[in-house]
Amino acid sequence: MFGNWLSNQNKRIRNLIWVVVAAMLWAIWRCRNDVVFDQNKYITLLQVIFRGAYWLRFWVHLQRDETAKDALSTISKKLEVVALEISNKGWKHLYCLN
């Protein structure tokens, strides 16, 4: 679905996108494990997003490139801001991820 768009991106940008995708998938997996193994009955989308932002901030330290570290740190903070705005007041066009 995003193959053409992703292949047209710079290699550094592609790698950053994959790190963000991996963090969010890991967050989904961990929340799923909480439901299945710990019998948590209620996991919200906000919990998944914040857990993904946590893993993204954690993985920032694994990056070698300083610009990648800065970019991933900024993305994690913006994810949290957007999630909070959506949960509190609904989507505002002023808060976008780019």
Domains of the chain: which residue ranges? 11-89
User: Sorting pLDDT into bands at 50, 70 and 90, what band is 1?
Assistant: low
- Both structure tokens of 73: 């740190």
Mean pLDDT (whole number) for 3-10: 74
Q: How confident is the model at residue 25 (pLDDT cuts 50, 70, 90)?
A: very high
Listed residue (57, 55, 84) closest to 71, CA to CA: 57
pLDDT at res. 3:
67
pLDDT in tens, 31-87: 999 999 988 888 888 889 999 999 999 989 988 889 889 999 999 999 888 888 877
